Every structure is written in structure tokens, then in C-alpha cells.
Amino acid sequence: MNLSAHAHSKAGFTLTEIMFVSVILGFISIGLATFMFNSTQGMFWASNKARITNDVRNFTLRISKETLGARTGIVYKSFSTEDRDDLSDQKQSGETGDCLVLVYYDPYPDIDDPLHYTKLVVFFRKPDSDGLSPVYRAEKIFSSPQEIDTSAGNNHFEDFLAHYFADDSDTHPVVLELSRGLADGKLFRNFGNNTFVVNGEILHGNEVKEVTNTYNLTISPRG
């Protein structure tokens, strides 16, 4: 037997071979890590995109349905008391705000009798320094319709509104998480002729937020 050949056959990998294999394994590891990162990122995006789509659908259906039942709407700068305590606080055609009040009223008790308030619904935001805020919803249903008393002066509706809604937004339910207003930084625009535009975007995620395309909804109370 050739002892030299036998000894050579028992020798391990050469340094060059080990380095070559290490490089190949390194490339494989990088590829796997990239694949896992992209897969995780894709799942994160898809999950939040689905939540956003669902949020947009639920919110737009809700506010559209409730607007159709109202007689009129009023936009204010915000839900803060000082921004809705005077007739002049009502935003006119082309102006924007983060508070939309839907007003429901009907003749009472008969069709030919004076108008009475039957319900108030308020959608509003309280944006932070980045312009982000949930959308809250406040509601007051009158078991006994309330007479519309215009003799109380120009601010009769604002006084009526303040009586039932204090500036306590934290106590009202959230109907849309983390939204940003896009109508001059606000969510609602008075479009005129008792028509309003809801213009915003919704965010989901953590530090890296997934953002929807902007949504633009026109709503009109029945008048």
C-alpha cells in the first residue's frame, strides 16, 4: 500500500476549501435573512392594509348613513367649548374644521306643528402636534323632542349644544383610530348648500406607520 497516498486521502479540508464554503454559507445566510425580513414586512403591510380598508369602509358607511337621517350639519373648528359657543364659530362655505355636528329635527307632535330637536350627533377630532387623532363620536337622543327656541338670541343653537355636550372628549367612544385631516389640516369642509366633505387618511402600525391613500367622502343631510 502506498502510505503517502493513504495519508493524503485522510487529510481534512484545505484552508482554501474552508474559506470557500464559509463564503457560500454567508451568502446563503444573507439571502435567508433578506427573505425572512421581506416576508415579515409584507405580512405587516398586508395586515395593516386590511385593517385600514375595514376602518375606511365602516367609518364611511356609518357617517354616510347618519348624515342621511339628519336635517342639517354644522362645522366648527374643534369640539373645544370656546370654538363652538358663538354663531360666528360656525364655519361657512369653503371653511374647514375638526368638528361636525349633525342636527336632527322634525315637527312635533304633528306634521304641521313647530320644529323640535330630536337628536344631535357629533363627530370630532383633537389632533396632537403631528396632526394625528382618533375620530370620536358623541350622541344625544331626546326622548321628548326639544323645542327650537330662537328667542334665546343668535347663539341659541350653540347654547343648546353646550348644554348637552361638555368639552370632555375622552369620555366619548372612538369610531376611527389615528386619522389625519387633509382639508387644510382638518377633517371636515363645509362645501356649501348643506353639503360637507370628509377628507383624511388613516394610519395603522407602530413606529413605521402604514398609511392609506386619502379618502374623500361627500355627505349631505336630507335638509
Question: Going by DSSP bridges, is the β-strand pair 115-125/96-97 parallel, antiparallel, or unpaired?
Answer: unpaired
Any idea where the domains of the chain sit in the sequence? 54-219
Count of beta carbons in the 10 Å neighbourhood of residue 103: 20
Collect all residues with Cβ–Cβ distance below 8 Å to 68 and sequence separation of at least 6: 221, 222
The verdict on pTM exceeding 0.85 is: no
Identify the CA nearest to 222 among candidates 85, 70, 2: 70
Kindly give the confidence (pLDDT) of every residue in the chain, 223 residues in length, as a single tens digit, with 9 standing for 90 and above: 555 555 555 556 677 767 776 777 776 777 666 666 555 555 555 665 667 778 878 888 999 999 999 999 999 999 999 999 999 999 999 999 999 999 999 999 999 999 999 999 999 999 999 898 999 999 999 999 999 988 889 999 999 999 999 887 678 999 988 788 988 999 999 999 999 999 998 876 544 455 566 778 999 998 7
- Side chain identity, residue 158: E
Question: Going by DSSP bridges, is the β-strand pair 195-205/188-192 parallel, antiparallel, or unpaired?
Answer: antiparallel
Count of beta carbons in the 10 Å neighbourhood of residue 198: 24
